[in-house]
Amino acid sequence: MKTLINPLLNRDMSLLAFNRRVLSLAMREDYPLLERLRFLSIVASNLDEFFEVRMEAQLEAFSGRRADAGVTAHTFTMVSAEAHALIAEQYRIFYEVLMPALDVQGVRLIPSEARTPEQNQFVQEYFEQNVRPLLLPIALDPAHPFPQVANKALNFIVELDGVDAFGRSNAVCILRVPRTLPRIVRLPDEVSGGKQCFVLLTSIIRTNLQTLFPGRNVMHASQFRVTRNSELEVDEEDVSDLRTALRQELVHRQYGQAVRLEVSHTCPSHMAEFLLKQFVLPELALYRVNGPVNLGRLIQLPDMVDADALKFTPHTPQWPLQLTGEKSSFFDRLKQGDVLIHRPFESFEAVIDFLEEAVNDPSVLAIQQTIYRTGDDPRMLNLLKDAVRKGKEVLAVVELKARFDEESNINWAEALESVGAQVVYGIVGLKTHAKMLLVMRREGRYIKRYGHLSTGNYNPKTAKLYTDIGMLTQDVMVTREMEAVFRHLTAQVPLPRMRRLLTAPFTLHQAMLRYVRRASIAASRGKEAYIALKMNSLTDESLVHALLDAARNGVRIDLVIRGANILPIDDPRIQGRIKLRSLVGRFLEHSRVFWFEIDGYQRVWLSSADWMSRNMFRRVEIAWPIRDAQMQTYIWQKCLLPYLNDNKDAWVLAEQGQYHPLCVKHDKSACAKLSSAQEQLMKTYQEKDTKI
C-alpha cells in the first residue's frame, strides 16, 4: 500500500462539518421560514447525539485517563473548538435571522421583558395551574447533596440570599424542569394582538422563580443541561438474556459519564464552575448559549403554527410506476420481473401492501423480516401479529442494539413473542443492519420465494423523509440466498457460497476492495475505469486508501457522501480525478449505490451498508446486484446522475477537508435557475416520467 502524502481527514471534524452544512439550510432564503427553523432544531438534536456517542473517548484522552490510537487530548481540543463555533453560529442565526423574520410574518416567541400585562397575567395563571404543582426545588446541604441529573434533562441552578425556614443560609437550589410539560405554550388569541404568540416553559418558570422561595431573594438563576455518554455497555458474551440485560442497561443510560455542560450565557462564573466540578468536566466542556438551552425542542414550533405559506408544500409520494395499472397480485406482478421503489418519491405503502397481501394469502406459509428501526407506526407489527394468528410461520430478527431505538425494538420483540412469533436477536457481537423481508408461498407442488431488499429501514415515517431504494423480487437465486442469511442469523450455521448477495462481515468488504483494485489495474493499463459511489459515510481506511490508489492510477471517481468522510483530495497525484460532494436538502440522503465501470463491463450494487469499518466488520449487512441493463440505466438516471449534476444543494470537498457550496447565493431568484436533484426527482416522479 502506498503511503499517503496527506493524512486522512478527522472523522469527528467531518461530522461537525456535515452539521454545519445542515445549519446552512436555516439561512436559505428559498426555503420557507418554519422549515428553516426546523433545520436549526435538527442540528441541535444531531449535536446531542454527537456528544452522546463520540465525545467520551476524547474527553477521557484529554483527562489523561485513556490513550487509544487516534484519540488524543489535541483532538478533543480541536473538536471542542469547532463545536463551540458551530453552536455559537446556531444561536446567532436563531436570534438575528429567524426570529426577526418570523416576527414580520406574525409568529413571535415572546421573552418575559416583551410581554404585555395581559400576556403576563396569562403566563402567571398558567404557571399556577399547570407548572407550580410539579416543581420541587432542592436546596443543597449535607442532607440534600447535589441530585442525580439525567442525560439532557433541563434544570435551573438558583442562587439565593437570606436564610431558609430553619435559619440556615444554604445558597444553592437545583430545580428540574418537568419533562411531562410542553416546552412551548401558545398564548390565547385574545392576548396576542393579531399574531401567533408563544412562550417557552423555561421563560414561564424563570418569570415566577421568586414565588417558589418566599422570604428569600433570587440572586441569580440559570438554565443548565448536561449531556452524557449514551453508549450501552452490555457484554453479550456474558449475559444469558440480551433483551433483559438491555432493558436494565437502558435505565443507566440516563446517568452515563458527563461530556458536555450547557448553561445560559448570563450564568455567573462561580455557578458555572460549581456545575463543572459536580460533573467532573473541564472548562472546554462548558457551552454558554445565548438563548434557550436546547434548541432541539423548538422543532415542535413549526407544527404549532397555522401558516402553510411558511412550510414546504406537502409532498405526496407516488405509487410506484412499475406497479400501476390494473390492480393485481404482487406475486403475479413479480413473475414479470423485479420492481424498484425509489422513496420518498415513490410510496413505501407498496411495501406495506405487499406484506398485507402475504398475510392474507392462504398460500403463503412463512414470513421472515429483519427489524432495525421501525418507528411508532404499528401497521407492520400488527400485520406480522395477524400472520401468526392466521397460522403462518413468522420469524422476526429484531436488532435490540439499534442505537436509541432499543426500547422500541424490545417492545416489538415482546409483542411478537406474545402471539407466538419466532423472535431472534441476531448474532452475538454483531448488529443486524440488513433490511430484508422474505415471503414463502406454496405454488403447486413447490414453495416459491418472494423478497424485498432495501437500503433503508422498515419505517413508514422516515420513508417519507429519507431517500432510499428498495427492490421487490422473485429472483430464485437472490431469494434463496436471503433465506440462507435468515438461517445464518437464527441457527448461526455458515453461509453457503453466495452468487448474488454480498454479506458483511464476510464478503462485502473484500468484494468492494476487489472491484476498486480491478478498476485501478485497468486504468494503469490504459483502459477505461470509472467508479461512482453514493452513501452516508466513508470512513473505512483500507477502502479509502484503495480509492486514492485507484485515482493515482487514473480511475475517475465520483463520490456522493452525505456525512462523515475521511478521504482527502489534497494529494497532487490525484490530479482532480476524485470529485466528492455532499448534498443536504429537504430530504435526508440515505441510499447506498455502488457503481463500477471497468474496461467495458458494468457492476451495480445497492446496499444497507456504508463504507465504514463498523458496517463491514461489526454488522450483518447485505449488498445486492442490479444485473438487468434497463434497471442499471434507471439507477444511473434516477439515483446517481441527478446528484452529480446538482448545483443547488451540493457542497464540494476542497483542500484541507473544507466543503464549499456550489451555489453561494441561496435566494429565490438565484436558485430558480439552478438544478436540485431532490426537486428534479419530485417533479419527475409526479409527472410519472420514471420508466425502466
Q: How many domains does the chain have?
A: 3
Which of residues 310, 336, 368 is at a domain's end? 310
Q: What confidence tens digit (pLDDT) does each residue in 191-200 have?
A: 998 899 999 9
pLDDT exceeds cutoff 90 at 165: no
DSSP assignment of 329-352 equals: -HHHHHTT--EEEEETTB-THHHH
Q: Give the confidence band of 619 by pLDDT, cuts at 50, 70, 90.
A: very high
Which of residues 275, 310, 345 is at a domain's end? 310
> Three-state secondary structure along 545-578?
HHHHHHHHCCCEEEEEECCCECCCCCCHHHCCCE
CATH no. for residue 48?
3.30.1840.10
Q: What confidence tens digit (pLDDT) does each residue in 220-253 have?
A: 999 999 999 987 555 444 444 555 655 555 566 6
- Domain membership of residue 19 (yes or no) is no
Domain range for residue 565? Answer: 504-686
Q: Are 248 and 349 in the same domain?
A: no
Q: 500 by DSSP, 3-state: which?
A: coil
Residues 6+ away with beta carbon under 8 Å from 683: none
Give pLDDT, residue 455. Answer: 98
Q: Are 298 and 333 in the same domain?
A: no
- Domain membership of residue 5 (yes or no) is no
Residues 6+ away with beta carbon under 8 Å from 497: none
Q: Give the confidence band of 563 by pLDDT, cuts at 50, 70, 90.
A: very high
Q: Are 293 and 179 in the same domain?
A: yes
- Domain membership of residue 112 (yes or no) is yes
Q: Are 266 and 168 in the same domain?
A: yes
User: Of 392, 387, 371, 495, which Cα lies nearest the Cα of 447?
Assistant: 392
- Domain membership of residue 402 (yes or no) is yes
Query: Average of pLDDT values for 17-36?
Result: 96
Q: Are 306 and 350 in the same domain?
A: no
Q: Are 335 and 293 in the same domain?
A: no
Query: Average of pLDDT values for 500-521?
Result: 98
- Domain membership of residue 220 (yes or no) is yes
Give pLDDT, residue 4. Answer: 44
- Domain membership of residue 558 (yes or no) is yes
Give pLDDT, residue 163. Answer: 79
Assess whether 545 carries a catalytic annotation.
no
Q: What confidence tens digit (pLDDT) does each residue in 648-672 have?
A: 999 999 998 999 999 876 666 666 6
Which of residues 258, 279, 310 is at a domain's end? 310
pLDDT exceeds cutoff 90 at 162: no
Q: Are 276 and 339 in the same domain?
A: no
Q: Are 472 and 378 in the same domain?
A: yes
Q: Are 653 and 637 in the same domain?
A: yes
Query: How many Cβ atoms sit within 10 Å of the Cβ of residue 137?
Result: 14
Q: Active site residue: 342, 433, 509, 666, which one? A: 433
pLDDT exceeds cutoff 80 at 594: yes
Query: Average of pLDDT values for 294-313?
Result: 95
Q: Are 485 and 533 in the same domain?
A: no
Cell of 68: 487509544
From CA 618, how far away is CA 606, in angstroms rounded? Answer: 19
- Domain membership of residue 17 (yes or no) is no
Q: Give yes or no for a cis peptide into 505 (omega within 30° of 0).
A: yes
Q: Are 402 and 474 in the same domain?
A: yes
Calculate ∠ Cα 133-137-142, nearest 5°: 145
Q: Are 464 and 341 in the same domain?
A: yes
Within 13 Å of residue 352, how many CA atoms lie on the same side as its CB? 19
149-161 burial: b if 16+ Cβ within 10 Å, else e: bbbbbbbbbbbbe
CATH no. for residue 630?
3.30.870.10
- Domain membership of residue 659 (yes or no) is yes
